Amino acid sequence: MVPFPTDGSGTVGTNGSHRRVSVATAVVRMGRTMLVGWGALLSVSVNLHGVHARPVVRNIRSTHEFDRLLEKHASETGLPVVVDFYSDSCGPCRMMAPIFRNVAAEFADRAVFVKVDTNAQPELSQRYQVRSLPTFQFFVDGKKAHQAVGGIGEQGLRQEANQIVRQAQLENVLLTLDALLEYYHTVDPEKPRSDVETVYQKCAKMNRKVEGCVGSSANALARKLKKKYQAAPQLVPRILPTDAPTSTPKPSRATPPVAASSNTGTPTTHTLESASLADLQSELERRLDQARDEQVEHEDPAEDEADPDFRPWPGSSHSAYPEAVLVIGGGPAGLAAALYAARAGLAPLVLAPSLGGQLQGKGVDVENYPGLPLVTGPAVVAAMRKQAAHFGAFFEDDVVFRVDASQRPLQIHTNATGIIAAHSIIVATGAESNWLGIPGEWEMRGGGVSSCATCDGFLYAQRDVVVVGGGDAAMEDALVLARTSRSVTVVHRRDKFRASKVLSDRVQNHPAITVRWNATVQEILGQAVVDANDEDDNSNDHDVDLDSIPKQVTGVVLVDTVTGEETKLSCHAVFVAIGHTPATAFLHGVVDFDPEHDGYLWTQPHSTQTSVPGIFAAGDVADSVYRQAITSAGSGAAAALDAERYLSEHGLGMEEELLEAELLAELVNDGGMSARESYNAYEDAGGRMQGMKESVAAEL
């Protein structure tokens, strides 16, 4: 066997030329192990210090890849990392996905955005104590700096991204000893060099993992000096992402050193047999990392883009005319209304937050919607949205907080878009989850307290959980949790469920579910849990504020409604499913409410028309009896029909079309031009048209 000599450049020399050696060539050729020069095995196919293209959002596929990414941006770019912990079964996660991509594209040169599937990477979820989905965590210098839980919306995510970018910029500063000496030479020439060095060392000691006076300690020192001397020392960027590649690349920790050539110029020869097992494993990891990086660079950045049916809304600034129909809400009622209005040619605008409604968060199969067996709630909502968009409906991710019905057209005030004018409004905002209002509930949302079992349930696999409620929603949550949790305890204040018999029987007969009858939850117990990843950072701190550390659920206090006896029940999570309240607070003082059912809108008999002409109600906002997805969809269709009739009777919603018709009529009549004198494409074709007609007639 004859090894290939190398010249120390990492390429194989053959007749004065250089070629790359692949991993497969380095290990196996023609079915037999072959000895290849060790320098060739260390060949680097990409410039490790160059600027690589990266996707807008990177999908993490292993713990090793995530750790390497944090280390890379902490040591090479200084960019913060924004992580979206999600699950495909989580409705709010699905709705936040396009928002996450939009914000990532906006901050592409200032931050790194990645996604972690908690089902595929449970180790990362446990390491960073993800207890609710979606969870957004923000890393600076390889350490978690902050997190946000739930559907925070586009504005919230953008605000969080701005804050973490600013923090990363503050951390990415360096105060050198030379700069500090020069500074003191200017402001305090008599200060001894030893004293200046002492000041510098104190600053450097504040950084446990990074040598030198950098980051927050450098900023703190600069502020103190500026306050004392009215001038600050010069701070420079600690890491420059656009640094030019060095002539001698610094090997990474995973790259074993290449033996140097001898003084005589004879290339040093290495073989696979002479390499240690650790070197081979290290090299294999490096090669796999390179392959993964190249794969990421070639991923299609548009793979998650919206369906072509979804056209962007041009915005109110692009049109001088009000919207004909504006639908508030994106559940079954709102989407059915949008579909019917779109098919009527009204091009409705749907305003709805990214989180979706009750059906969007239903991860179990929707068994009671005709024609859609074995389909989850998010799938039903997605199909409805696509169908409405296909017929011309527009969608805008926004929240309405006020409606002004004192003038016409109606004025709709939103959080992000501003004020939108519309001739008619269909209110289909659905209902919001009710909460217990007990101690510990608000403090531990995201720490074990949740109202979405399909979103957060699997995070408590093989753990004990509690479900509070006795309706269909509570039964569904209990059955979902029983698939993965070690035990599920349903707490109900009465001795009989008010849920359907089918669901009640399933719950009571399930071996993993226990029911506590005649009981209420008095308090949710919890304790502060320090993130294991921050223990090293805080090991020298003696003044840790335990009140600022998020708490995790450890149990509940139950009270027997018959005897009044209190008992404690240990658990890791509490899922609240005690019904919903219509999301109609923004309409107080605008329309009349149902006097017999708090929060529900009043509508005219046999109509969806509210007390204000042009405002219609559909779905759970006006239905205190049935509150089903299919009845909501039906009332949404009815609301669209009522709105279309209202617009036709009042001659509204067709201003642009009427103006175009008037302009066309003026052009036709301009200068007394008669219909005969106007342009006719058929006559312009001359005798050819007559010949074509005769030819077609002959063929027939």
Spell out the alpha helix ranges (H) of 603-686. Answer: 629-650, 655-669, 681-684
- How is residue 166 written in tokens? 């600013």
How many CB atoms are located within 10 Å of the residue 71 CB? 13
How much helix, strand and coil, in percent to the nearest 5, is found in the chain?
A: 35, 20, 45
CA nearest to 396, candidates 310, 470, 507? 310
- How is residue 464 written in tokens? 């004990």
Give dist(CA 309, CA 388) in Å, integer. Answer: 9
Q: How far apart, in Å, are the Cα atoms of 456 and each of 90, 359, 551?
A: 8, 16, 17
Return the SS3 of 481: helix
- Out of 90, 203, 455, 571, the active site residue is 455
Q: Are 493 and 522 in contact (CB under 8 A)?
A: no
* Catalytic-residue membership of 455: yes
Give dist(CA 146, CA 135) in Å, integer. Answer: 11
Q: How far apart, in Å, are the Cα atoms of 508 and each of 154, 421, 479, 488?
A: 42, 52, 10, 11
Return the HEC string of 453-480. HHHHHHHHCCCEEEEECCCHHHHHHHHH
CA nearest to 658, candidates 383, 196, 324, 292? 324
Give dist(CA 520, CA 517) in Å, integer. Answer: 9
Q: Are 259 and 271 in contact (CB under 8 A)?
A: no
What is the residue whose two structure tokens read 């912990």? 85
- Out of 84, 141, 398, 456, the active site residue is 456
* Catalytic-residue membership of 571: no
Q: What are the backbone angles phi and psi of residue 480, rounded to the nearest 5°?
A: -65, -45
Give dist(CA 452, CA 449) in Å, integer. Answer: 9
Contacts of 492 (CB under 8 A, 6+ apart): 469, 470, 474, 515, 516, 517, 518, 519
Angle at CA of residue 102, ends 100 and 107, nearest 5°: 90
What is the residue whose two structure tokens read 């809304």? 313
Give the alpha-carbon dihedral of 607, 608, 614, 620, to 10 degrees: 170
- How is residue 521 written in tokens? 């939850």
- How is residue 355 written in tokens? 């989180």
At position 580, the amino acid (one-letter code) is H
How many CB atoms are located within 10 Å of the residue 101 CB? 21
- Out of 452, 472, 477, 623, the active site residue is 452
Return the HEC string of 513-535. EEEECCEEEEEEEEEECCCHHHC
CA nearest to 57, candidates 107, 93, 91, 94? 107
Peptide bond into 409 cis (omega under 30): yes
At position 127, the amino acid (one-letter code) is R
Q: How far apart, in Å, are the Cα atoms of 475 and each of 504, 675, 696?
A: 7, 71, 69
CA nearest to 468, candidates 445, 491, 434? 491
At position 626, the amino acid (one-letter code) is Y
How many CB atoms are located within 10 Å of the residue 174 CB? 16
* Catalytic-residue membership of 90: no
- How is residue 89 written in tokens? 């079964």
Parallel, antiparallel, or unpaired for β 135-140 and 173-175? Answer: unpaired
Return the HEC string of 538-570. CCCCCCCCHHHCCEEEEEEEEEECCCCCEEEEE
Cα 661 to its chain centre, rounded Å, is 45
Active site residues: 452, 455-456
